[in-house]
Amino acid sequence: MPPSPPPPDDPGIKLREHTYDGIQEYDQRLPNWWLYTLYGAIVFWVVYWFAHMLSGLATTDGAQVDAAMTRIAAAKMASSIDVSNDGKFWEMSRNPVFVEAGKQTFQSNCVPCHLPSMRGKSENPAAVGPDLTDTAWIHGGTPKEIYVTVSKGVPTKGMLSWEPVLGQKKTVEVVAYLLSHHQPGETITVQLSN
Amino acid sequence: MTHGQKTTIEFNDKIVRQFMLASLIWGVVGMLVGVLIATQLNFWQANFGQAWLSFGRLRPLHTNAVIFAFVGNMMFAGIYYSTQRLVKARLASDFLSQLHFWGWQLIIVAAAITLPLGLTRGKEYAELIWPIDIAVAVIWVVFAVNFFWTLARRHEKSLYVAIWFYIATIITVAMLYIVNHLSIPTSLTHSYPIFGGVQDGLVQWWYGHNAVAFFLTTPILGIMYYFLPKAAERPVYSYRLSVIHFWSLVFLYIWAGPHHLLNTALPNWLQLLGMTFSLMLWAPSWGGMLNGLLTLRGAWGKLRTDPVIKFFAAGVTFYGMATFEGPLLSIKSVNALAHYTDWIIAHVHAGALGWNGFMAAGMFYWLVPRLWNKPLHSTALANLHFWIGLTGILLYVSAMWASGITQGLMLNATAEGGTILKYPNFLETINAIRPLMLLRVVGGGLYLAGFLIMGWNVWRSIRGAAAVNGRMEVYVEAPVPGETLGAGSTFLNAPVVFTVLVLLGSCVWMFTSGVLNIIGLVATMFCVLLAIGHFESRGKAWADWYDKLLVSALPFTVLTFLAVVIGGLIQIIPMITIDRRLQTEDRVARTYTPLELAGRDLYIREGCYNCHSQMIRTLVPDVMRYGDYSRLGESIWDHPFQWGSKRTGPDLARVGGKYNEAWHYDHLENPRNISTGSNMPAYTWLMQQNTDYASLSAKIRVQRMLGVPFPSWSPAMIDTLAKEQAKDIAKELKTQGRYVDPDREVVAVIAYLQSLGKTWEPTGAPAAQP
């Protein structure tokens, strides 16, 4: 048998008579903070359930997300850049701030297919993406056509749709970086790839 | 008290020794696999190019080994040792005990062979294929029979709190395991679960969460209630707390399963139940911690000298920590950050390493000298084990906290006024946590080292020692008529009647509207007040009834079963009785083509779900990253569901059509071909093995049986359809410069991946009802 136990906090607390294989049990009352935690959680359940399921005030999670996405779309439209103006793109491609920003984005997203040199298949035939420095284009070589290719992608050829990922500003910067390797008015040939 | 005839019984301690040593051995195996797969997260090459060593196949082996082999064997050792002494009876049957032991070890060996082979059901902690599932159920019943038969032969009439927890464990695990493993076989090694989509998800996490509750928690609490006061030589802190926390714990735990599916397509009422019941569970869980820690009051001096007390005190503290963290993670907004990240990994390992592992160690160090009648070889080594293990856990858990929160914040971060993601490339978030994932390997390695030290210490202690079996003198007393509860007094008494009334009232309040709703609320409050009043004036009658319940094993078991069954019934019955077509929201999936189905089964075989979810949550960052949030109808025909629980890679719910076939081919061949810095394994074997077309007709037949609306194709038709689609994809790959035999598995996997998010049709119903 263990040595007789020291008295519990409250001398009125009794040790239960029954022992189990020598194990004894006090019968102390439950700590107040513990009880209040339990009661508090029960009250929270009642209030939360009422607010979300019964009051009719709560909107569904899906509706909340839809509303938030609509706001985001509106914000994007409000700050959208005019991408139909070829002259503007050429202007950007001669601005070092734009080009440098575009280069950063290109390095972190585009090099797996187009290679750091931008020369893609011309440098290494096993590369996924075509050469972006020559004057031969597959999906059109004017600035706004290049923008559409980057922005919407060409899924069947493995080119991703980048604007949802990068946002419009970064997409435009990448196009400016591409154009910085070209001259306005250079001869463009459009050829289909095999 | 009248004393009957005195006899001496010898306990069956051989079975305890067997289970204890098995637990030690499987513990090492389970942890070793854990360290290996943790290493693979930083160094993908650590699978040595072998399919059977790849992460997706070994992660299920790790979880199953730790839960069922390590903790399972430890639990059986603890339960068999303490039960015999607490009820003063030798285990009822030596044969059943041995059948239990060898059956369980055989199951573990079968699991260790089948899981690396890719034979799996594709549901977490329920991966074992159907023949092994049946064996588990049978052996569990053997355990139950052996246990309850022993109770029936007991010389100690009153059941101690440890026994309550054992009873709850045995009946609840049986219920959970059987329901979640209901399947229809398509072959000897493959089956489909009978539930699909959201029903399967709900049943899976009802099981998954309560496997944690009733396999990793309640039996260990029972073990704590026996071994901790024994080692501390102190009375248990409070009997009253035992009563309240036992009943509230077993009743509330079952309801909390849906907190694994927060912010998903799971209906909102279930998400709310999951969250609020998890919060209510906090206090009952801490009741167990309090009863453990406060029992040590007056014995803290032993903390310095006795490694057993060290392990128990730390184990119970980790239990308190993990059960505070659980409710915290169940709050929807916290979950939005933490779910799918390493924070959850931190949480479960605080439980598994801190609570289960340390309670096991404390118990083993206490048992060894008593089972072999020889002092422990080295107390110093046991102390070393403690400090190494503790350092290991703290490193592991803090690394995973930091990792989970870092990745969660990065995934949710936006830029440019919240219009785009700040880190659109998922890999950026993985590469940011690589050092933390490495620290986890160090922490886990230290913990394993500590465990090996225990193995050595135990080996040195028992080598050459003679095994001894405990003995006890007992008095055989004649049964006293009217001592136990009959059927009537089991149910018709104040505590049970008031509980039922309050439950009924609150269910009426929760699930009705209008006048009925107000009646429910008023009735609930009235019953609560009445119960309080009755308890204040007739408290003695409540206590007397409970004393009587404690000598009535069958009524106790029945009431426990009722307490654990209610939550599951209320949550699951509505979901499986309503026609699936009514649970589709605004879109319903078309069935897979035969080739897509073959690819899906390969996706499951490779354990892709261990790292990729297929569930875009109703959260803005999820929608920005992966597309429109997932609807119930899109996965409604999925047997098993593949919503996932961890995103070591990105969500795949809408990956179909996002990339071309060549992208997938290159990526599966070696992910680093395309995704620089990826830690995904290279699936070269998919390029070498042939798709199993032959099994498709049996699979589709079973799916039709389960209610999936496949057309009634003939086997020949299925074969032709699958091969034609494979040829089309191979042709497409050819135009993209990749030459592959259409019959290779990679083609089927690409077919499946390209179908994800593409296979639904609008139903015309509104998107979501309030």
Per-residue three-class SS string for chain A: CCCCCCCCCCCCCCECCCCECCECEEECCCCHHHHHHHHHHHHHHHHHHHHHHHCCCCCCHHHHHHHHHHHHHHHHHHCCCCCCCHHHHHHHHCCHHHHHHHHHHHHHHCHHHHCCCCCHHHHCCCCCCCCCCCCEECCCCCHHHHHHHHHHCEHHHCECCCHHHHCHHHHHHHHHHHHCCCCCCCCCEECCCC
Using a CB–CB cutoff of 8 Å, tell me whether A67 touches chain B: no
Are B650 and B626 in contact by the 8 Å Cβ rule? The answer is yes
| Helix (H), strand (E) at residue B762 | strand B760-762
Note the helical H segments in B45-190: 55-64, 72-86, 94-114, 130-152, 161-180
- Residue by residue, DSSP assigns B658-676 as TS-HHHHHHHHH-GGGTST
User: What pLDDT is attached to residue B765?
Assistant: 61
Structure tokens at B4: 């009957």
> Nearest residue on chain A to B658, judged by CA atoms?
A155
- Do both B336 and B448 map to the same domain? yes
- Do both B239 and B142 map to the same domain? yes
Structure tokens at B463: 């080598």
Single-letter residue type at B599: G
Are B167 and B557 in contact by the 8 Å Cβ rule? The answer is yes
A112 preceded by a cis bond (ω within 30 of 0): no
Q: How far is B156 from chain A (nearest CA, A)?
A: 8
- Do both B555 and B637 map to the same domain? no
SS3 assignment, position B266: coil
- Do both B165 and B225 map to the same domain? yes
Domain range spanning residue B532? 488-583
Establish if B74 belongs to a structural domain. yes
Q: How far is B664 from chain A (nearest CA, A)?
A: 10
Establish if B142 belongs to a structural domain. yes
Using a CB–CB cutoff of 8 Å, tell me whether A10 touches chain B: no
B286–A37 C-beta distance less than 8 A:
yes
Q: How far is B768 from chain A (nearest CA, A)?
A: 7
**C-alpha dist (Å) from residue A46 to A52, B67, B509, B523:** 10, 35, 10, 14
Beta-bridge partners for B1 = none
B419–A44 C-beta distance less than 8 A:
no
Distance CA B458, CA B470 (A): 19
- Give percent helix, percent strand, percent coil of chain B, each to the nearest 5: 70, 5, 25
In chain A, what residues touch B767 (CB-CB under 8 Å)? 62-63, 66
Distance CA B217, CA B234 (A): 23
> Nearest residue on chain A to B227, judged by CA atoms?
A23
Q: Around Cβ B627, how many Cβ atoms within 10 Å?
A: 16
Among residues B208, B197, B203, the alpha carbon closest in space to that of B639 is found at B197
Distance CA B201, CA B718 (A): 28
Using a CB–CB cutoff of 8 Å, tell me whether A167 touches chain B: yes
In chain A, what residues touch B283 (CB-CB under 8 Å)? 34-35, 37-38, 41
Distance CA B25, CA B28 (A): 5
**B423: DSSP letter:** -
Q: Is B45 exposed, middle or buried (0-12, 13-18, 19+ CB in 10 A)?
A: exposed
- Do both B533 and B663 map to the same domain? no
- Do both B456 and B503 map to the same domain? no
Give the burial string for B82-97 (b: 16+ CB within 10 Å, else e): bbbbbbbbbbbbeebb
Confidence band of A155 (pLDDT split at 50, 70, 90): confident
Domains in chain A: boundaries? 1-58, 86-190
In chain A, what residues touch B674 (CB-CB under 8 Å)? 112-113, 128
User: What pLDDT is attached to residue B1?
Assistant: 46
Distance CA A143, CA B303 (A): 75
User: What pLDDT is attached to residue B768?
Assistant: 44
End-to-end CA distance of chain A: 89
User: What pLDDT is attached to residue B582?
Assistant: 75
Which positions 265-294 of B are in contact with A (Cβ < 8 Å)?
268-269, 272, 275-277, 279-280, 282-284, 286-287, 290
Q: Around Cβ B193, how many Cβ atoms within 10 Å?
A: 24
User: What pLDDT is attached to residue B293?
Assistant: 96
In chain B, what residues touch A30 (CB-CB under 8 Å)? 238, 240-241, 244, 287
Mean pLDDT, consecutive 10-residue stretches, chain B (770 aa), reads 78 98 98 98 95 97 97 98 97 97 98 98 96 98 98 95 98 96 97 95 95 95 98 95 96 95 95 96 96 92 93 97 96 96 97 97 97 95 98 97 97 90 92 96 98 98 93 86 86 94 94 92 96 94 94 96 94 84 82 97 97 97 95 94 96 93 94 90 97 97 96 96 97 92 97 93 58
Q: How far is B442 from chain A (nearest CA, A)?
A: 31
A34–B283 C-beta distance less than 8 A:
yes
Write down which residue in B425, B447, B474 finishes a domain.
B474
pLDDT at A165 over 90: no
Q: How far is A5 from chain B (nearest CA, A)?
A: 6
More confident residue, B513 or A40: A40
B416–A72 C-beta distance less than 8 A:
no
Write down which residue in B583, B615, B638 finishes a domain.
B583
| CATH number, domain A86-190, options 1.10.760.10, 3.40.228.10, 3.20.20.150, 3.40.50.720 | 1.10.760.10
> Nearest residue on chain A to B630, judged by CA atoms?
A62
Q: How far is B401 from chain A (nearest CA, A)?
A: 25
Distance CA B674, CA B57 (A): 24
Which positions 16-35 of A are in contact with B (Cβ < 8 Å)?
16, 18, 20-31, 34-35
CATH of the domain at B659: 1.10.760.10
User: What pLDDT is attached to residue A3?
Assistant: 46
Which positions 571-630 of B are in contact with A (Cβ < 8 Å)?
618-620, 623-624, 629
Using a CB–CB cutoff of 8 Å, tell me whether A57 touches chain B: no
Establish if B5 belongs to a structural domain. no
Are B220 and B162 in contact by the 8 Å Cβ rule? The answer is no
User: What pLDDT is attached to residue A161?
Assistant: 87
- Do both B502 and B359 map to the same domain? no
Beta-bridge partners for B236 = A25
Among residues B138, B263, B113, the alpha carbon closest in space to that of B189 is found at B113
Q: Of B236, B282, B660, which has the smallest distance from its Cβ to A37's Cβ? A: B282
User: What pLDDT is attached to residue B769?
Assistant: 40
- Do both B149 and B179 map to the same domain? yes
Structure tokens at A132: 């972006």
Q: Which own/partner pairs from A26-32 qualify as long-range (CB within 8 Å, at least 24 positions apart)?
A: A26/B235, A26/B236, A26/B237, A26/B238, A26/B239, A27/B238, A27/B239, A27/B240, A28/B237, A28/B238, A28/B240, A28/B241, A29/B238, A29/B240, A30/B238, A30/B240, A30/B241, A30/B244, A30/B287, A31/B290
- Do both B389 and B531 map to the same domain? no
Are B136 and B178 in contact by the 8 Å Cβ rule? The answer is no
Q: How far is B236 from chain A (nearest CA, A)?
A: 5
For CA atoms B641, B642, B643, B646, the dihedral sign is positive
Among residues B191, B223, B274, the alpha carbon closest in space to that of B703 is found at B191
> Nearest residue on chain A to B241, judged by CA atoms?
A30
Torsion region of B263: left, alpha or beta (phi above 0 gives left; psi -120 to 50 gives alpha): left
User: What pLDDT is attached to residue B159?
Assistant: 97
A155–B660 C-beta distance less than 8 A:
yes
Establish if B1 belongs to a structural domain. no
Structure tokens at A29: 């009352």
Give which of B224, B226, B236, B289 to mutate to test A binding, by max A Cβ within 10 Å.
B236
- Do both B94 and B186 map to the same domain? yes
User: What pLDDT is attached to residue A125?
Assistant: 83
Confidence band of A193 (pLDDT split at 50, 70, 90): low
A48–B276 C-beta distance less than 8 A:
yes
- Do both B436 and B508 map to the same domain? no
Beta-bridge partners for B10 = B471
Distance CA A115, CA A161 (A): 18
Using a CB–CB cutoff of 8 Å, tell me whether B157 touches chain A: no
Above 0.95 for ipTM, yes or no? Answer: no
**B260: DSSP letter:** G
**C-alpha dist (Å) from residue B658 to B404, B532, B652:** 27, 61, 10
Which positions 639-668 of B are in contact with A (Cβ < 8 Å)?
657-660, 662-663, 666
Count of the separate structural domains present in chain B = 3
Using a CB–CB cutoff of 8 Å, tell me whether A14 touches chain B: no
Quote the strand ranges of B459-615, DSSP E: 471-476, 587-589
Q: Around Cβ B20, how many Cβ atoms within 10 Å?
A: 25
- Do both B622 and B577 map to the same domain? no
| Helix (H), strand (E) at residue B435 | helix B434-462
> Region A164-183: what's the mean pLDDT?
90
Write down which residue in B474, B505, B539 finishes a domain.
B474
Q: Which own/partner pairs from B53-57 qualify as long-range (CB within 8 Å, at least 24 positions apart)?
A: B53/B116, B54/B606, B54/B607, B54/B681, B54/B683, B55/B607, B55/B610, B55/B611, B55/B681, B56/B606, B56/B607, B56/B608, B56/B609, B56/B610, B56/B611, B56/B681, B57/B115, B57/B116, B57/B117, B57/B118, B57/B120, B57/B606, B57/B607
Which positions 425-464 of B are in contact with A (Cβ < 8 Å)?
425
Establish if B340 belongs to a structural domain. yes
User: What pLDDT is attached to residue B330?
Assistant: 97
Among residues B634, B620, B610, the alpha carbon closest in space to that of B336 is found at B620
Q: Is A55 exposed, middle or buried (0-12, 13-18, 19+ CB in 10 A)?
A: exposed
